[in-house]
Amino acid sequence: MEEINKAILEIRAGAGGDEAALFAGDLARMYQKFALKKGWRFEVLDTSDSSLHGYKTFIAEIAGQGVYNILKNESGVHRVQRVPTTEKSGRIHTSTASVAILPLAPAAEVSISPQDLEISFFRSSGPGGQNVNKVETAVRIRHFPSGLVVSSQTGRSQAANRESAMSILRAKLFEFQQEQKNAAMGDLRRQQIGSADRSEKIRTYNFPQDRLTDHRINKKWSNLDSILEGNMEPIFKSFQKNEESS
């Protein structure tokens, strides 16, 4: 497969309320730290924060050598088993977050008619200093033919956020077009992440046993804290060996 050097990372909290949002935040930081170790560019495009410093949704663009091929197997439902910081009785909770990795398509490969778009502006609720919260710099784009709605609010200007939102839209439309070419039905992102139900997991992060299990290749790794610090190379090497042997 041809190397794709840009991708959109989309993380959504699933089952588990506030703990799921905290786990989504842990995953976002894990991928950001891994990208930093690889020397990749990691740009946050849009977030929806939870009340406890987690994320209901987190969208970023990652750029670097072979980004998509390395990260593509991260798509799916990730499950965590641990005692949440909010738990008073020491009970272990199970929560989920979904991850989607979308290849970022060149503008020339995705045709988008301006007449098919509704673009609106609103005040950012994310970080970025006082300016983004005082003026309507955040951008929301609705694409009528597909029904997709995307937004970006972390940039300091309408122009920057509009460009980021268009990148997200192109990535999602590109995946949809690729899916149609392969005669597949339904939305590819939904196929990747399922309904975020606990039973549809691809990977489990078991903190009491300090073990990460990938259920697709039946591999286990220890030292979860190190993995969440971005030390994910052993996981990606296992997937590479699995692909080479299949």
Q: What is the mean pLDDT of the chain?
A: 85
Report phi then psi at 210, rounded to 5: 50, 55
- Mean pLDDT over 2-13 rounds to 88
Task: For residue 237, give both structure tokens.
Answer: 């090497």
Looking at this protein, which amino acid is placed at residue 24? A
Q: Which residue blocks in the chain are alpha helix, DSSP H?
A: 17-38, 67-71, 130-134, 158-181, 188-193, 224-228, 233-245
Q: Is the pLDDT of residue 213 over 90?
A: yes
Token pair in block for residue 90: 């020491």
Q: Give the per-residue pLDDT at 15.
A: 83
Average pLDDT for residues 128-139, to the nearest whole number?
63
pLDDT confidence of 71, banded at 50, 70, 90?
Answer: very high
- Mean pLDDT, range 32-53, rounded to an integer: 91
Q: Which residue segments constitute the domains of the chain, with CATH numbers given?
A: 6-106+187-245 (3.30.70.1660), 108-181 (3.30.160.20)
Q: Say what the alpha-carbon torsion angle 193, 199, 201, 206 is, to the nearest 10 degrees.
A: 140
pLDDT band at 2 (very low <50, low <70, confident <90, very high): low
3-state helix, strand, coil in the chain (%, to 5): 35, 30, 30
pLDDT confidence of residue 176: 78
pLDDT digits (tens, 9 = 90+) for 179-193: 666 544 345 555 555
